[in-house]
Amino acid sequence: MRHLFRQNVLKLGMLVGLSGAVAGCGTAMEEGEAVGSASAALVSLPTPRLFVCGGANYSSRVSMYLAPDDDVCLRWTNLELSSSATVVSSSSTSTTGGGAANPCPSGDCQYTVYLRANGQTTVVADRVQPLPSEDPQLSAPLRIAGGSRLEYWVVASDVADPSVTSPPSNTIVANRCGQLHPDEYIFADNPIYSCSETYRLYPQADGNLVYSKYESATGGYTTAIWSTGPKSGANRLYMQADGNLVYSAQPANVAKWTTRTNSTPTRDNSGAKLVTTVNRFDVRKGQSILWRSDTGRTY
């Protein structure tokens, strides 16, 4: 039975979770190039390979994984099990075959998983040591805090001498889809996609919040279904904990548009979330629709 190593990402803002789906592992064509190394030390180990093993579906339309869940399953190759691995040192290069030799000098490899979001890099899981006979995996958190693009990669190192490292693996790019939960927010140029890839809610750089539909004839989200119109300075869409969806100008925190679904002394809308659906998006609390983009507030 595999061991899941669940870690929390360092908080990049207001971070919360959501609901789930499962898909198969990614392929080389579905993933980007490595984005960075955690160490300036001599690179001497083979490069591990990172895969998605559940919780997200790859979208060739937007070139990333779309995940409705609050986490995504990541798995990577255990270098100790590699059928053929080239080990580079300052004095020689050798190839191991059949998994008989361990490329880590001490005989034990460890792995650190990184996340880049909003221009910041944090550690998701640090120095994970897998069971000798298994590829390691973990449930990596997916949160929306400013930016909806999340990039993961893994670096191997030797347990006894962590300065002996691998190059960074391929990069898995993931994007939350379908919902904004309480206390989640996105900034301009960070769209939310429906999990079907058909719809996109996009806070544009000009302050216009646009819900649009993908058209195969144009190859883009060119059919605008709803928009706020340009709102001067608006750059953050925030699903407040009190149930109000607010489009505001930051850092001045000036509201430019709102659904007016905040809680009041006579109505508790706390816990409401934004949900994308066919030809519209809603603010919902449980099964109750508080606001619809096509008709407005429902009460």
- Answer whether residue 291 shows pLDDT above 50: yes
Chosen domain end from 176, 206, 236: 176
| Same domain, yes or no: 172 and 282 | no
pLDDT tens, residue by residue, 75-118:
999 998 864 444 444 444 444 334 446 899 998 999 999 999 88
| Same domain, yes or no: 127 and 36 | yes
Chosen domain end from 176, 205, 239: 176
Find residue 93's DSSP bridge partners.
88
| Same domain, yes or no: 210 and 255 | yes
Show the domain range for 238. Answer: 180-297
pLDDT tens, residue by residue, 274-283:
999 999 999 9
Q: In 98-253, which ranges are E strands?
A: 109-117, 120-128, 137-141, 145-146, 149-158, 172-176, 179-180, 184-187, 192-193, 199-203, 209-215, 220-227, 236-239, 245-249
CATH of the domain at 187: 2.90.10.10
| Same domain, yes or no: 137 and 105 | yes
**Nearest CA to 203 among 220, 214, 181, 188?**
188
**Alpha carbon distance 263, 198 (integer Å):** 32
DSSP states along 106-137: TS-EEEEEEEEETTEEEEEEEEE---TTS--E
pLDDT tens, residue by residue, 153-207:
999 999 999 999 999 999 999 988 999 999 999 999 999 999 999 999 999 999 9
pLDDT tens, residue by residue, 127-157:
999 887 789 999 988 877 888 789 999 999 9
- 18 found inside a domain: no
Q: Which of 3-7, 38-42, 85-89, 251-255 has the lowest mean pLDDT?
A: 3-7
| Same domain, yes or no: 71 and 171 | yes
| Same domain, yes or no: 52 and 160 | yes
pTM of the model: 0.75
CATH of the domain at 71: 2.60.40.10
Place of tokens 């979001």: 117
Chosen domain end from 132, 147, 176: 176
| Same domain, yes or no: 202 and 239 | yes
Strands 120-128 and 109-117: antiparallel
- 185 found inside a domain: yes
- 192 found inside a domain: yes
pLDDT tens, residue by residue, 9-56:
323 232 233 233 323 333 333 445 454 444 444 558 999 999 999 889
- Answer whether residue 231 shows pLDDT above 90: yes
Supply 168's token pair.
């960074």
| Same domain, yes or no: 79 and 111 | yes
- Give how many domains the chain has, as a whole number: 2
| Same domain, yes or no: 51 and 124 | yes
Mean pLDDT of 286-297: 97
Cβ neighbours of residue 79 under 8 Å, at least 6 residues apart? 45, 46, 48, 85, 102, 103, 104, 109, 156, 166
